[in-house]
Amino acid sequence: MTTHVERDAGPSRPPEERVKDFAEWHLPVLEETLRKQASRCMDCGTPFCHTGKIVSGHAMGCPINNLIPDFNDLVSKGQWQEAAVRLYQTNNFPEFTGRVCPAPCEGSCTMALSGEAVTIKTIEAAIADRAFEEGWVPVDEPLTRTGKKVAVVGSGPAGLACAAQLNKAGHTVTVLERADRVGGLLMYGIPSMKLDKSLVARRVRLLAGAGIRFVTGIEVGRDLPAERLLSDYDAVVLCCGATEARGLPVPGRELSGIHLAMEFLHASTKSYLDSGFADGRYISAKGRHVVVIGGGDTGTDCVATSIRHGAASVVQLEILARPPATRAPDNPWPQWPRIERLDYGQEEALALFGADPRLYSVKTKRFAGDAEGRVRELHLVSVEWRKAADGRMQLVEVPGTESVLPADLVLLALGFVGPERGGPVTELALKLDERGNVITDGEKMTSVPGVFAAGDMSRGQSLVVWAIHEGRKAARGVDRYLMYGQTSLP
């Protein structure tokens, strides 16, 4: 066990440089550094980093149960191929999670009890990248086919993971995607500087080469009746995401220049990939005073994208209070630490504009526009969370704290409230829970026999790594359904 080595997550491109393009901002890490960092792992007798549990409503460890101490030990010894074998046992797409996952594993690392966690995410990405370079990535093309056909609707991380596992089991899989490119959230929901789209395309080519059929530009419920899937396939898996955005019902919402975050991010990435922005088919932040409402990952991506467009200013609003710098007493290890972090978008705003763009404990009161009906101002007020007589926390406006921000582009990154109504949800009359998510049983089957659901569609808005977990779980359920109660899938 080596404990004297300081944490080093590796280099990244300087903010002033990386905001000039949409290339990935993280840089390769030297092998010597990676081996030293892996040596910091304590090889715990009872590791929490790979538990993947929800305790008291909070995540603990890796949702897909990556064998983290195992691959850390192998990397520390320079046994990279064996480390890749361990990693691919549990994770279909470590090249994605090693880049975009917030690393709940690191929040549950035992080293974090008295110091800084092992750089698990960086090591995972390095193993995945090396596996591609050396040709170690498993293809998983089955030796025989079962004769069973499965349709997977949606090609985000849940859909791709589910399709990969079902194909491995020998079923014939068709993935239906309504966008023009495969990848769902991975392609159009996450900006290119965070996840290079060539990596998504590379993975899709591998999956197609293993026998999975991809069909783009087809929307189930509009271009293809959902009932048709039930007659054409032996099982159907819905991985359509939780894309019903949470609204902001305040005066002035109808003004032009106010957009949903995903509308902004999707259009930006598509235009960038199609033409390097030459087609002009995107919502440009160039020269605009941008206000992003919402403090999560999507809000950060909006901040970073707006800066790259050439925004005049960027402000990010958060209705919650500023998180503490260290764990609060009600947020003990090994829970994910709910602390303040400077993410890549905020770091870039700080470097360019001289200040953190986030304003905490504020609420949007209304928007004001000009004679042409375009938004020009955002009126806000400070808020406090106070305990009501019944013990519940309620939001209270603070008198005399009203203020006005210039705003000619407003991006709503307020999260999502479940899958879109209409389409397969309505057509198949799927039962929903009180949050609007599709109800599934322990096998991920919906209220309609033979129809399964996975990812954000059944879980609610969550992380890419949880989507992969859901996709793998649904694949096991489908395999058992088709193979008379048996499954060969992990």
Closest CA to 307 of 296, 292, 322: 292
| 84 Cβ contact partners less than 8 Å away, ≥ 6 residues apart | 127, 128, 130, 131, 136, 137
Determine, yes or no, domain membership for 123. yes
- Same structural domain, 130 and 163: no
CATH code, domain with 83: 1.10.1060.10
Of 89, 108, 134, which one is at a domain's C-terminal end?
Answer: 134
What is the pairing mode between strands 313-317 and 53-55? unpaired
Determine, yes or no, domain membership for 328. yes
pLDDT at 2: 45
- Same structural domain, 333 and 308: yes
Give, for all 490 residues of the chain, the pLDDT tens digit: 445 799 999 999 999 999 999 999 999 999 999 999 999 998 888 899 988 888 777 778 999 999 999 999 999 999 999 999 999 999 999 999 999 999 999 999 999 988 899 999 999 999 999 999 999 999 899 999 999 999 999 999 999 999 999 999 999 999 999 999 999 999 999 999 999 999 999 999 999 999 999 999 999 999 999 999 999 999 999 999 999 999 999 999 999 999 999 999 999 999 999 999 999 999 999 999 999 999 999 999 999 999 999 999 999 999 999 999 999 998 999 988 999 999 999 999 999 999 999 999 999 999 999 999 999 999 999 999 898 888 888 999 999 999 999 999 999 999 999 999 888 999 999 999 999 999 999 999 999 999 999 999 999 999 999 999 999 999 999 999 999 999 999 9
Of 391, 412, 433, which one is at a domain's C-terminal end?
Answer: 412
Of 387, 412, 437, which one is at a domain's C-terminal end?
Answer: 412
Number of domains within the chain: 3
Q: Please name the amino acid found at residue 313.
A: S
d(CA 384, CA 270): 39
- Same structural domain, 263 and 394: yes
Determine, yes or no, domain membership for 4. no
- Same structural domain, 275 and 233: no
CB crowding 306-345: b at 16 or more within 10 Å, else e: bbbbebebbbbbbbeeebeeeeeeebebbbbbeeeeebbb
Determine, yes or no, domain membership for 433. yes
CATH code, domain with 465: 3.50.50.60
What is the pairing mode between strands 258-260 and 172-177? unpaired
**Looking at the DSSP assignment, which residues form a beta bridge with residue 60?**
53
- Same structural domain, 180 and 209: yes
What is the pairing mode between strands 58-60 and 53-55? antiparallel
d(CA 232, CA 211): 18
- Same structural domain, 155 and 226: yes
- Same structural domain, 262 and 408: yes
- Same structural domain, 404 and 295: yes
d(CA 451, CA 238): 7
d(CA 7, CA 37): 7
pTM of the entire predicted model: 0.95
- Same structural domain, 267 and 398: yes
d(CA 145, CA 136): 24
Determine, yes or no, domain membership for 283. yes
Determine, yes or no, domain membership for 223. yes
Report the 10 Å Cβ neighbour count for 155. Answer: 29
**Which structure tokens are listed for 115?**
């110091």
Determine, yes or no, domain membership for 251. no
Per the structure, the complete domain to which residue 452 belongs is given by: 149-243+417-482
Determine, yes or no, domain membership for 2. no
- Same structural domain, 302 and 185: no
- Same structural domain, 424 and 387: no
- Same structural domain, 295 and 406: yes
